[in-house]
Chain A
Amino acid sequence: MTSRLSGSDLTLAYDHHRRVVAEHLDVRIPDGSFTVIVGPNACGKSTLLRALSGLLAPRHGTVALDGAAISSYRAKEVARRLGLLAQSATAPEGISVADLVARGRYPHQRLLRQWTPEDEFQVARAMAATGVTELADRAVDELSGGQRQRVWMAMALAQQTDILLLDEPTTYLDIAYQIDLLDLCADLHEQGRTLVAVLHDLNQACRYATHLIAMKTGKIVAEGNPREIITAELVEDVYGLACQVIPDPQTHTPLVVPAARSARGARSAG
């Protein structure tokens, strides 16, 4: 398995290295995969994505992009190869949807070449793919959470990178838009892009991932094809939740069904 993006022996920490999130973490993103990262809140998924995209310098270890340390590239060069949809991003006050999406073109622009036909085309295409074309002239801060999420996705798409890292791209989206967005990701994957997405819905993860990474407190506890690794034991181990795993009636991928409250011996109220 070849990998353009990988991290080896990573120690990831915040606050001048005082809060250590992960140690001795090795991760390889298989080329051309749709990799999905799952794990409980605060286990370090976003932190790992930030490190893989070069936003967070690891305290120890290196992230390698196309055979060289990611820190050795110029910021713009990284941004032409790898895009990131962050978990919480804020738009500048009053900026319009079209303007925000257009900023995804920044890594491809130069001082005198700021708005080429290619830029125009890619921005229009990204907005159409995420269904935000009708919102083009609206101010981003006046949109609903789900609309905003799709605008940020459009910006990441306009960046036209081979590798796309998405931190919880389906948050705020209603069920139909969640499936739309995952289908869009699957399309991109089929066109040859490498995708890495953090998802909380295990069943969606199992349906769409070609490679699944399960994390727990800064460690990778299992990875591989979801059909092979998702078991009731793994879910119990990672989330501490008793469950049953049955085949998905539509796709025959694993379907995680949490055990009923009574079967879990849930505490009685009061």
Chain B
Amino acid sequence: MSRRLTFRAPGIALRLDARTLWVSGALLLAALAAVTLTVVAVGIRLPLADIAEILRGGGRRADRFVLLDLRLPRVCLGLLTGAALAVSGAVFQSLSRNPLGSPDIVGFTTGSATGAVLAIVVFGAGPVGSAFAAVVGGIATALIVYGLTARGGGSVRRLVLVGIGIAAMLVAVNSYLISRARLDAAQSAAVWLVGTLNGRTWDYVRLLGIALAILTPPLLLLSRRLQMLAMGEDSARSLGVPVAGSRLSLMVLAVAICAVSTAATGPVAFVALAAPQVTRRLTRSPRVQLLPAAITGALLMVLSDFIAQRILAPAQLPVGVVTGAVGGAYLAWLLSVQWRKGNG
């Protein structure tokens, strides 16, 4: 066990894990570095001095456009969605006691895409309509997966397996819908197959920011109950956690956070799965770490997007392609580890 730091003041008595603190600090610095790298060097170079000049209100018009209208909103959206996916993933992994219980594995993000694709292909929805449909689609998928597993005990393993099945079906549904659509609708719907930050403006950042500002604080307040729920229903209950209500609130908030973030970018694979796991390995703490996981998620997302923009420059890959490739390898490794431990 690592060292604990105790903070006491009148009315306040907290205890924090030393290693978690410095790991979080290091992650934060890394995220800051990744943001700087992206803003400076993702395409034409904008030296830091120029950036400072632009932020003070000066600079050349073209540079101002690149920084203020292209790069900054994009990197901000990356930070927000990365953090949101990570938090949602951490909550689900903890509740299901399984890394594979992540929203991106059990079909919630794919369900969001199905909602958006349906709205575009069938109802001819625009960007706002499809984002709204994505939120609805994600929540509906969660309800379906939960409904299918809640009966008969609602075992966790079943939730994961049913979710993986639903996810595969939804991928097929999405492809089918797009293949039957008119060309223009198919083009705008295809964006929803792989998550992307391409062409995202401040509007997206603002909307997602507001949604997260509403959804995240209650989730953080519930995080101690989330810790206690990891002890199993009976122990949590006998220590004073209202189990059913806490679990429901946590799930609703986590589903909503995942859905709004997917509405902004489309389904970005594996961040929700990997960020909490990476954080867990770095902090070596058995606790669920929502804030450190959020920082890791933001870092992973911004780094992935940097790679996505650089690797085939000037062509820009969707960030979901990069997270999919890296995350897929990570998933294969995780599965093989679980398999060997005999609880796959």
Contacts and interface: CB of A to CB of B under 8 A. Distances in A.
A75 B228 contact: no
A90 B232 contact: yes
A98 B242 contact: no
B11 A75 contact: no
A103 B239 contact: yes
A75 B235 CA distance: 12
Contacts of B231: 89-92, 103
B103 to A, nearest CB: 21
A55 B14 contact: no
A59 interface: no
A106 B238 contact: no
A79 interface: yes
Contact of B237 (A55, A111, A112): A55
B13 A86 contact: no
B1 interface: yes
A213 interface: no
B15 interface: yes
A80 B11 CA distance: 20
Interface stretch (A113-121, A190-198, A258-266): A113-121
Contact of B13 (A75, A103, A114): A114
Contact of A107 (B14, B221, B232, B239): B239
B45 interface: no
B342 to A, nearest CB: 14
Interface in B14-45: 14-15
Contacts of B199: none
Nearest to B237: A55
A178 interface: no
A17 B286 CA distance: 36
27 contacts: A54-B237, A75-B240, A76-B240, A76-B241, A79-B238, A80-B240, A83-B238, A84-B238, A90-B231, A92-B230, A96-B286, A103-B231, A103-B239, A104-B239, A106-B241, A107-B239, A112-B12, A112-B13, A112-B14, A113-B11, A113-B13, A114-B13, A117-B13, A119-B13, A120-B6, A136-B1, A137-B1
Interface of B: 1, 6, 8, 11-15, 221, 224, 228, 230-232, 234-235, 237-243, 286
